[in-house]
Structure 1
Amino acid sequence: MEKHVHIISFDVPYPVDHGGYFDLFYKLVALYQQGIRIHLHCFEHKRSQQEELEQYCAEVFYYPRQCGHKGFSHKLPYIVASRTNAELEERLLKDSHPILLEGVHCTYLLQDERFNSRKMVLRLHNVEYKYYKQLFHSSHSLFKKMYYLNESRLLKQYEESIANKALVLAVSEQDSNTYRKEFGAKQVATLPVFLPFSEISAPEGVGCFCLYHGNLSVNENEEAAIWLIKKVFNDLKIPLVIAGKHPSPRLQRIANKYGNACLVADPSEQEMQDMIGKAQINILPSFNVTGVKLKLLNALFNGRHCLVNEATVQSTGLESACHIGNNATAFKSQIVQLYRQPFAEEEIRLRKTLLLSTFDNKRNAQRLIQWLF
C-alpha cells in the first residue's frame, strides 16, 4: 500500500544554493527513492516556484508568506505567525496522512485543535531562540537588535509550549539535549542532516589558498569573515579567499584594503565546490553553537584541511577530523603549520569512518519513515 506524507517547508527548498536547503531538498529525494508519495507545501517569499520539485513530489503547493506588519503577532514569533495559511489547513484536513513540519517556522498547526489527533513530526533545524539570541549579539543595526531580541524571547516561550506536541527530530545531539533539559520534551531523537555527498572527495596533496565560505548576507558569517581578514590574516603572507552570497559593501571595502584577501561574490554552486576542493585550508570559525554547520560537512566531504573553533564542532562528533583554535593567535599558528602540509590518505580514511555511516541518506530516510508511519 502506498505511503503518503505532507511536508510543510518554511521556504522553497530548491535551488540548493546554501547550507540551509541541503536537508530540505535531499530529504525529499531520499524519501522519494524509498517510494513515499510526498505532498509538499512551500511558503514562498523571495524564492520562485521550481519545476525540479515535481520530480520527487506527487504534488507541490505554494503559499505566500505574510511578510511585514501582516506577519507580526504579540504572542507568536514572527517566523511562525508569518507562515499561517487557511488554504493550507483546509487542504491538510482532507486526509489523515502524517505531517512533517520543517522547522519551528512551520509549527502553527500545533496550536490548532483540529490537528490534535494527527501524526505530526517536527524537524528541528535549530534551537531557534538561541539562534536569534546570537543574531542579536552579532548585529550592528539597533532596529535588527531589537527585533532579534524580541523574537528570541517569543521563541523561547513558544518552543517550550510546543516541545511535547510532536515528535521532535533534531539535527544534533546538542539540540536534542536542549529540548529535553530546558523544555522537558519527552519524544526527542537525533536524525542527521540529508546531504548530496555519498563519498569523500577531498583531494590529497597541497592546495593554493585558504577559504572561508558561507552566505555572506548573514550577520554572523560577515563578522566571521571580517574577523579573519582583520585579526588572523592581517600580517600573514598567505592568500585568503572569502566566497559567498550577497556580500555587503562594508565587507567588500574591508577585503579591498588587504592585499592578501580576495572576495568572490555570488559564485555558482559549481564554482563554490571547485574552490572548496582547491583550497589548502577551509577555515570556518563560528559564533553560533546551535544546529549543524552544513558548510563544515561540505568542507569535510570535499576539501582538504579544516580549521575551526570549538563553537563550530561542539557536540558534533567531528572534532577529530578538524584542527581547532579558539583565538586569532591559535588560528595564525595553525594556518602557518598547515599551509605547506600535504593532505594525506590517513585523513581521508578518518573522514570515511566518521562521516559515511552517519550521513547515509538511505538509512536515515528509512529511520524517518518508521517515525512517520
Structure 2
Amino acid sequence: MTRTLHIISHDVPYPLDYGGVIDIFCTIRALHESGISVILHCFDYGRGEQAELNRYCSEVHYYTRQEGHKGFSFKLPYIVSSRANCALLERLLQDDFPILIEGIHCTYLLNDERFRKRKMALRLFNVESCYYQHLYRHERSLIKKAYYLNESRLLKDYESRIAGTIPVLTLSDRDRNIYREKFNAKSVHTVQAFLPYEEVRSNEGIGSFCLYHGNLEVAENEKAAIWLLQEIFLKLKIPFVIAGRNPSSRLERITGLGCHTCLVSNPEDRELNDLISKAQINILPSFNETGVKLKLLNALFNGRHCIVNDQAVDGTPLSPLCHIAESPHAIQRVVQQLYHLPFGEEEIRLRKKILHEHFDNKRNAQTLISYLY
C-alpha cells in the first residue's frame, strides 16, 4: 500500500542553486525512491513552476508569498506571516495524510486548532532566531540590521512557543541541543541533510589554488570572503579564488588589490564544481554555527583539503575530515602546510567512511519516515 505525505516548502525547491532548496529537493527525491507518494506545497516568489518536480511528486501546488507590507505582522515573524495562506490550509484539511513542514517559515498552520491532532513533523534549516541574530551582526545596511534584529526577537519567542507542540528534526546535534535545552522541545531528533552527492569524487594529488565559495549576497558570506582576503591571502601571496552569486562592488574592489586573487561571479553548477575539484584547498570558515553547511559537504565529497573554523563543524560529524584553525595566523600556517601537500588515498578512504555513514540518503529517508508514520 502506497503511503502519502504532504511536504510544505518555503520556496520552490528547484533549480538547485542554494542550500535550503538542495536539501528539500533531495529529501523529496529520496522519499519518492522509498515508495512515498509526495504531495508538494511550495511558496513561489520568483522561481516559477518547475516541471522537474513532477518527476518525484504526485501533485505540486504553488502559492504566492505575501511580500512587503501585505505579509507583515506585529506578533509573528515575517518569514512565517508572509506564508499564511488559506488555500494551503483548506487543501491540507481535505485528507489526514502526515505533513512534513520544511522550515519554521511554513509553520503558520500550527496556530490553527484544526491541525492539533494531525500527524506532523517540523524539519529545521537552522535555529532561525540565532541565524537572524548573526545576519544582524554582519549586515552593513541600517535598515536591514533593524529588520534582522526585530525578526530575531520575534523568532526567539515563536520558536519557544512551538517547540513543544510538534516533533522537531534538526540538521545538527548542536541545533537539537538548543531546542531541547533553550526551548524545552519535548521531541527533537537529528536527521542529517539530504544531498545530491552519492559518492566521494575527490581527486588525489595537488591542485593549483585555494577556493572560497558561497552565496555572496548573504552578508555573512561576503564578510568571510573579505576577511580571508584581508587577513590571509593578501599577505600570503598564494593563488586564491572567490566564487559565488552576485558579489558586491566592495568585494570586487578588495579582490582586485591582489594580482594573485580573483573573483568568479555567478558560476554555473558545472563551473563551480570544476573549481571545487581543481582547488588544492577549499577554505570555508563560518561566522554562524547553526545548521549544517552544504557548501562544506560539497567540498568534502568533491574537493581536496578543507580548512574550516570550529563554528563550521560544531555539532556535526565532519570535524575529522577537516583542518580546523581559528585565528588568521593559524589559518596562514595551515594553508602553507597544505598547499604543496598531495591529497591522498588515506584521506579519501576516511571521507568515504564518515560521509557514507552519516549522509546516506536511503538510510536517512527511512529514519525520516519513522517519525512520520
Which category of TM-score, normalised to the shorter sequence, fits these structures?
over 0.9
Counterpart position of 2:62: 62
Question: 1:251 offset after TM fit, Å?
Answer: 1.1
For 2:345 and 2:182, locate their aligned partners in 1 and report how far apart those are by CA, in whole Å.
Answer: 42
Q: Provide the TM-score with structure 2 as the length reference.
A: 0.99
For 2:12 and 2:352, locate their aligned partners in 1 and report how far apart those are by CA, in whole Å.
Answer: 31
For 2:236 and 2:182, locate their aligned partners in 1 and report how far apart those are by CA, in whole Å.
Answer: 43
Letter of the structure 2 residue corresponding to residue 343 of structure 1: F
Question: 1:166 offset after TM fit, Å?
Answer: 1.1
Counterpart position of 1:186: 186
For 2:356 and 2:2, locate their aligned partners in 1 and report how far apart those are by CA, in whole Å.
Answer: 30
SS in 2 for 1:8: strand
Q: Provide the TM-score with structure 1 as the length reference.
A: 0.99
Letter of the structure 2 residue corresponding to residue 242 of structure 1: I
Question: 1:249 offset after TM fit, Å?
Answer: 1.5
Where do residues 209-248 of structure 1 align in structure 2 (5 Å cutoff)?
209-248=209-248
SS in 2 for 1:178: helix
Cα deviation per residue 1:166-214 (whole Å; 9 max; x = unaligned)?
1101000000100000011111110000001111111000000000000
Letter of the structure 1 residue corresponding to residue 369 of structure 2: I
Task: Please tell me whether the aligned partners of residues 175 and 315 of structure 2 are also in contact (alpha carbons under 8 angstroms).
Answer: no
Cα deviation per residue 1:5-53 (whole Å; 9 max; x = unaligned)?
1100000001111222221000011011011111000001121210000
Question: 1:317 offset after TM fit, Å?
Answer: 2.0
For 2:179 and 2:18, locate their aligned partners in 1 and report how far apart those are by CA, in whole Å.
Answer: 26
Cα deviation per residue 1:233-265 (whole Å; 9 max; x = unaligned)?
112121100001111111111111221111000
Letter of the structure 2 residue corresponding to residue 27 of structure 1: T
Q: What percent of counterpart residues are identical?
A: 59
Cα deviation per residue 1:251-293 (whole Å; 9 max; x = unaligned)?
1111112211110001111111111000000000110000001
Letter of the structure 1 residue corresponding to residue 321 of structure 2: A
Counterpart position of 2:91: 91
Counterpart position of 1:149: 149
Letter of the structure 1 residue corresponding to residue 341 of structure 2: Q
SS in 2 for 1:70: helix
Question: 1:360 offset after TM fit, Å?
Answer: 0.6
Greater shift, 146-155 or 310-319, is seen at 310-319
Counterpart position of 1:286: 286
Counterpart position of 1:353: 353
Task: Please tell me whether the aligned partners of residues 39 and 57 of structure 2 are also in contact (alpha carbons under 8 angstroms).
Answer: yes
Counterpart position of 1:263: 263
| Structure 1 unpaired stretches of 5+ | none
For 1:79 and 1:124, locate their aligned partners in 2 and report how far apart those are by CA, in whole Å.
Answer: 13
For 1:247 and 1:65, locate their aligned partners in 2 and report how far apart those are by CA, in whole Å.
Answer: 26
Question: 1:315 offset after TM fit, Å?
Answer: 1.9
Counterpart position of 2:8: 8
Q: How many residues align?
A: 373
For 2:41 and 2:294, locate their aligned partners in 1 and report how far apart those are by CA, in whole Å.
Answer: 23
Where do residues 300-319 of structure 1 align in structure 2 (5 Å cutoff)?
300-319=300-319
Counterpart position of 2:339: 339
For 2:49 and 2:260, locate their aligned partners in 1 and report how far apart those are by CA, in whole Å.
Answer: 40
Letter of the structure 1 residue corresponding to residue 211 of structure 2: L
Task: Please tell me whether the aligned partners of residues 225 and 242 of structure 2 are also in contact (alpha carbons under 8 angstroms).
Answer: yes
Letter of the structure 2 residue corresponding to residue 120 of structure 1: M
Question: 1:129 offset after TM fit, Å?
Answer: 0.1
Following TM superposition, the consecutive aligned residue runs of length 4 or more in structure 1 with deviations greater than 3 angstroms are: none
Greater shift, 248-257 or 172-181, is seen at 248-257
Q: Are residues 1:102 and 2:102 paired?
A: yes
For 1:343 and 1:82, locate their aligned partners in 2 and report how far apart those are by CA, in whole Å.
Answer: 47
Question: 1:88 offset after TM fit, Å?
Answer: 0.6
| Structure 2 unpaired stretches of 5+ | none
Greater shift, 40-49 or 155-164, is seen at 40-49
